[in-house]
Amino acid sequence: MAFTSYDGILAALAAGQGQEIYFQKTLPAAHVAGNFYTSWAYAGTPAAGGWAGAGGAASATMVTCTNATPGALTLASPTTASATNPHILTAGAVQAVGAQTMAGTLMLIDRLADSGPLTTTFGGSCSLTMPVATSLWARYADGIGVQAFVESLETTVPTVSTTIALTYTNTAGTGARTSGSTTVAATKSLVKGTNGPFLSMASGDLGIKTIESIQVGAVTPAAGTIALVVCKPLLIIPCTTTGYYVERDLVIQTPKLPKLQVAADASACLQWIFFPNAATTSGSVFMGSVSTVTG
């Protein structure tokens, strides 16, 4: 069903159709202000995730990520037969208290798929195979709002920047679209770290329906590897003052009620992207919760 009133949401919660998802993440190293970071490799609750895809140098296979993928926020799924989906009601977080200051912004995304590691010496064009048994994303198959970013899960700070470009199909079904070259900063646990977290798209495109290839500059930005991740951004919350919990009400305060898609009885692979507005120290912690209602 679709929620048409606040009373309907309250009735669903009273019927036990709500979930409260708690998380706690510890930054494994100092972070630089003004860069974007993926929380996928952060220890805590849930535990750190790895790459699901089968990477390589000349070709890689993208693998679908779900709520059962290690690293995803713990989220139960309704079955597709029930024709119901979880909706996000609230999301909130608090920074650690004391010297471990980490003011900034958190973005919650649904991690749709990743490529697995592109090799340490790779530079050139790598063809990408879409997830097995489908030519589209399992969730958000229309591609609207779907974005891509580059991720590093290295334990040492990459020291070399590189350029990244995509060849993809847009939401209108037009193939061979190119994103243009984007510089990826040399940072630990990076998401594309210059002007924003996501790789650019061709002018006028609304999202990424499929990806054909990724073009990487002369070397990957590390003593290590990178991977391509595809996601659906869901919401953004600020973390402004150490020790104060900040929450977004997505029904009344910011009417949005993001709907998490369900495919093959699996739901969203939820994770955070972090944008600090000041330098952070190793061991900094952020924690909070995401609440959902199914209907």
Q: Which amino acid is at 66?
A: T
Of the pLDDT bands very low, low, confident and very high (cuts 50, 70, 90), residue 102 is low
At 248 the pLDDT is 86
For the chain, give the mean pLDDT.
81
Lowest mean pLDDT among 20-24, 191-195, 287-291: 191-195
Task: Provide the token pair at 93.
Answer: 């977080």
Of the pLDDT bands very low, low, confident and very high (cuts 50, 70, 90), residue 81 is low
**pLDDT per position as a tens digit, 35-50:** 788 889 888 999 999 8
- State how far Cα 145 lies from the chain centre: 13
**pLDDT per position as a tens digit, 103-122:** 778 899 999 999 888 765 56
- Is pLDDT of 13 > 90? no
Highest-confidence segment of 99-103, 221-225, 288-292: 288-292
Domain count, the chain: 1
Share of the chain above pLDDT 70, in %: 83
Lowest mean pLDDT among 96-110, 203-217, 269-283: 96-110
Task: Provide the token pair at 152.
Answer: 């590093």
Of the pLDDT bands very low, low, confident and very high (cuts 50, 70, 90), residue 80 is low
Please compute the mean of the pLDDT values over residues 263-285 and round it to a whole number. Answer: 81
In a domain, 158, yes or no: yes
Residue 115 and residue 60: Cα distance in Å, rounded? 6
In a domain, 53, yes or no: yes
Please compute the mean of the pLDDT values over residues 154-182 and round it to a whole number. Answer: 78
**pLDDT per position as a tens digit, 233-245:** 999 988 777 777 8
In a domain, 6, yes or no: no
In a domain, 111, yes or no: yes
Cβ contact 16:289 at 8 Å: no
Tell me which H or E stretch contains 10: helix 6-14
| The pTM of the whole model exceeds 0.85 | yes
Of the pLDDT bands very low, low, confident and very high (cuts 50, 70, 90), residue 192 is low
Please compute the mean of the pLDDT values over residues 217-224 and round it to a whole number. Answer: 56
Please compute the mean of the pLDDT values over residues 94-105 and round it to a whole number. Answer: 66
CA atoms within 13 Å, Cβ hemisphere of 220 = 26
Handedness of CA 174, 140, 146, 47 (dihedral sign): negative
In a domain, 4, yes or no: no
Structural domain for 126, as ranges = 20-294
Highest-confidence segment of 8-12, 178-182, 184-188, 191-195: 8-12
- Is pLDDT of 71 > 80? yes
Choice between 264 and 115, residue whose per-residue pLDDT is larger: 115
In a domain, 68, yes or no: yes
In a domain, 81, yes or no: yes
In a domain, 73, yes or no: yes
- Is pLDDT of 193 > 70? no
- Is pLDDT of 270 > 90? yes
Of the pLDDT bands very low, low, confident and very high (cuts 50, 70, 90), residue 223 is very low
Q: Could you please report the per-residue DSSP string of 205-235?
A: --BEEEEEEEEE-SS-SSSS-BEEEEEEEEE
Lowest mean pLDDT among 110-114, 156-160, 232-236, 284-288: 156-160
Buried b (16+ CB within 10 A) or exposed e, 47-69: ebbebbbebbeeebbbbbbbbeb
